[in-house]
Amino acid sequence: MHKLKFFKSVQFRLVMIYLLLILVAMQVIGAYFVRELEGQLEKNFQDSITNSLTLLDYSVKEEMLKNSDNSAQLQTNIRGLLVDYARNNTNLIEVRIVDDKGKILGTSNMDNQGVVGQKATDNLIKRTLSLGTTEDNIYLEDNDNGGGKRVWVYSTPIKNKDDILGAIYLVADIETVYEQVDDVTNIFITGTLIAMIITAILGILLSRTITKPIIDMKRQAYAMARGNYTRKVKVYGQDEIGELAESFNSLTKRVQEAQAMTEGERRKLSSVLAFMTDGVIATDRRGKVILINTPAEKMLRVPHESANGKSIIEVLDIADQFEFEDLMEMEEPLTMDRSTFDEPYVLRANFSVIQRETGFVNGVIAVLHDITDQEKVDQERRDFVSNVSHELRTPLTSMHSYLEALNDGAWRDEDLAPKFLEVTHNETERMIRLVNDLLKLSRMDGGREQLDKSFVNFTDFFNHIIDRFEMMKKDSITFKRYIPREPVIIEIDEDKIMQVLDNIISNSNKYSPDGGQISFYLKKFEDEIEISISDQGLGIPEEDLGNVFERFFRVDKARSREMGGTGLGLAIAAEVIKGHGGRIWAERNQDKGTTIRFTLPYSDLPEDDWE
């Protein structure tokens, strides 16, 4: 989980909000309070001085009226009054009296008695004398040290009825008032700091009650993202966050259900895709493979999971013929022939476009079928029809020409007519044989013909068939039997196996040269018997050994026809042996000639069972 930086957290922001609110509140209260306090303290200070001035004012006025003609006496008396007054007011720096002309009559400052008799220069005094008003002001007094203190300067007229007799001028040290205000301000700042520290601590604790459930939900969301739905958010109360937590829990349940459903669907889909025999490829809208099932990988022979992300036209190996856009417009299935020299392999692909209702193309789905077998069957059917037509046309053409010759008058010719009739007779027989063979094969193909099996002593059965051939054979050919004396009992369809042996032995007879030998073998194994018929004839070329069991296959077409063969004998034999659960194959003999071998299932029945 990505760790959230503390100063970016909601908790930090909440604490900051508390702190800023406290700060603003304290600032506003402080500013107002300090201003009020300052005004009040100033007023108290000034009142304490001016209240006691009434008496001085009265005393000075009396002295001025009494000693108006004796200025030396007046100055002495005034000095006495001022010194007294100054002694009782500790904050007073100096108090002076001036007459109505602005001349200084006295000062309380004993060190500065030199100014007595001089003219007062202060503007405040001038205004008081000329207007009869009381004036005051606060100045910053320079001192020798560079720093300065604030002083309060006050001047008030001394009046006798409406006449202005002079003025009282005083300077008082008001700095103490401001020092008091500063002290209060400091207390205020300290108080604010303490309040902020307490607020910060409380803020952290209080905001945790809000952020803890949120952090819980955040963890839950991360857990959900990792697929863990078992976690639940704790509901702390019935407030908005509590409700949010409850909705979050029900959301988790819903997501879990939806996820389970999607997962189920996904599993269903993937097992359907995996178990279907067709190959399926899905692409995105750019043609990149996003899904390919195992049958498709096998059909296209691409390594497992290597096709994902590749372009479909590369995976199908059709990039040289098509663009991805062509596949989207392709309505007919695409046949892809991947046959090699020794293995036929044909695939067919059907494409369909995945499209939204809006027409937006999401991708393409290709379904692949392996149609090699179907193609082979089709090809075989085409070959079969053309072979049958050919096989029938040859005897028909020859019969046609002989009959035409007879019709044209050859019937009158006593020598030719019987010969011509014999040829047409032979051709008719060959055609009957062919049609019979075809019917047999067709019955076996459709599986319509049930095998009519019975238990037979195969040694007797085999010898009997060989005897029959031995009677008809040419003298120049010798038969050799390698057949055990004891009975070999197996369950077969006698007629059909007889047909198989007839076909094989008559081939050996047909293809044996004069003086040749045909050998018959019967071998018994644990679970099968093997029958072999070996001749010393032309032999079958190596590459055709497998083909001789195919319908109408002949190594030498002209020769075979000449000998009356239909090209179906070994094909019928193969079908019959297959029906009995055996195998059949041809081998080239080491010296010369051919051996045809086949097996039949055999089980060594106990004697008493048989009896």
Residues in touch with ligand ADP (CB under 6 A): 503, 507-508, 511, 535, 537-540, 548, 553-556, 560, 565-571, 594
Provide the sign of the torsion angle of the four alpha carbons 231, 232, 233, 234, taken in this order.
negative
Q: How far apart are CA 430 and CA 412, in angstroms?
A: 26
Closer residue to ligand ADP in complex, CB, 370/391: 391
Nearest distance, CB of residue 512 and ligand ADP, angstroms: 8
Q: Which residues contact 370 (CB under 8 A, 6 or more apart)?
A: 299, 345, 346, 347
Nearest distance, CB of residue 568 and ligand ADP, angstroms: 6
Nearest distance, CB of residue 477 and ligand ADP, angstroms: 12
- Is residue 132 within 8 Å of residue 142, measured between CB atoms? no
Closer residue to ligand ADP in complex, CB, 539/582: 539
Q: How far apart are CA 46 and CA 92, in angstroms?
A: 11
Closer residue to ligand ADP in complex, CB, 176/499: 499
CA-based nearest residue to 601, from 481, 484, 455: 455
Closer residue to ligand ADP in complex, CB, 233/571: 571
Nearest distance, CB of residue 567 and ligand ADP, angstroms: 4
Distances in Å between the Cα of 574 and the Cα atoms of 297, 348, 596, 598 are 36, 32, 11, 9
CA-based nearest residue to 488, from 463, 464, 519, 456: 456
Q: How far apart are CA 286 and CA 361, in angstroms?
A: 10
Nearest distance, CB of residue 562 and ligand ADP, angstroms: 10
Provide the sign of the torsion angle of the four alpha carbons 418, 423, 428, 432, taken in this order.
positive
Q: Which residues contact 377 (CB under 8 A, 6 or more apart)?
A: none
Angular region, 132: left φ>0, alpha ψ -120 to 50, beta rest: left
Nearest distance, CB of residue 585 and ligand ADP, angstroms: 12
Q: CB burial class (10 A; 0-12, 13-18, 19+) of residue 528? A: middle
Nearest distance, CB of residue 517 and ligand ADP, angstroms: 13
CA-based nearest residue to 129, from 159, 95, 167: 167
Nearest distance, CB of residue 436 and ligand ADP, angstroms: 13
CA-based nearest residue to 174, from 200, 152, 189: 152
At residue 173, the 3 state secondary structure works out as: strand
- Tokens representing 484 are 């055990």
Closer residue to ligand ADP in complex, CB, 96/430: 430
Closer residue to ligand ADP in complex, CB, 18/511: 511
At residue 533, the 3 state secondary structure works out as: strand
**Angle 304-305-308 from CA coordinates, rounded to 5°:** 145
Residue with nearest beta carbon to ligand ADP: 565
**What letter represents residue 87's amino acid?**
R
Nearest distance, CB of residue 529 and ligand ADP, angstroms: 21
Closer residue to ligand ADP in complex, CB, 529/574: 574
Strand 92-99 and strand 104-107: pairing? antiparallel
Closer residue to ligand ADP in complex, CB, 564/601: 564
- Tokens representing 579 are 């029906």
Nearest distance, CB of residue 421 and ligand ADP, angstroms: 24
What is the CB-side half-sphere exposure of residue 360 using CA atoms within 13 A? 4
State the DSSP code for 359. Answer: S
CA-based nearest residue to 317, from 383, 247, 259, 368: 368
Nearest distance, CB of residue 550 and ligand ADP, angstroms: 8
Burial 118-153 (b: 16+ CB within 10 A, else e): eebebebbbbbbeeeebbeeeeeeeeeeeeebebbb
Q: Which residue has the tokens 């700060």?
A: 23
State the DSSP code for 119. Answer: B
Closer residue to ligand ADP in complex, CB, 203/569: 569
Nearest distance, CB of residue 556 and ligand ADP, angstroms: 6
Closer residue to ligand ADP in complex, CB, 179/562: 562
Closer residue to ligand ADP in complex, CB, 236/553: 553
Closer residue to ligand ADP in complex, CB, 87/592: 592
Closer residue to ligand ADP in complex, CB, 157/516: 516
- Is residue 48 within 8 Å of residue 176, measured between CB atoms? no
Closer residue to ligand ADP in complex, CB, 167/584: 584
Nearest distance, CB of residue 551 and ligand ADP, angstroms: 8
- Is residue 281 within 8 Å of residue 305, measured between CB atoms? no
Nearest distance, CB of residue 560 and ligand ADP, angstroms: 4
State the DSSP code for 236. Answer: -
Q: Which residue has the tokens 């108290």?
A: 44
Nearest distance, CB of residue 475 and ligand ADP, angstroms: 19
Closer residue to ligand ADP in complex, CB, 370/437: 437
CA-based nearest residue to 281, from 238, 315, 241: 315
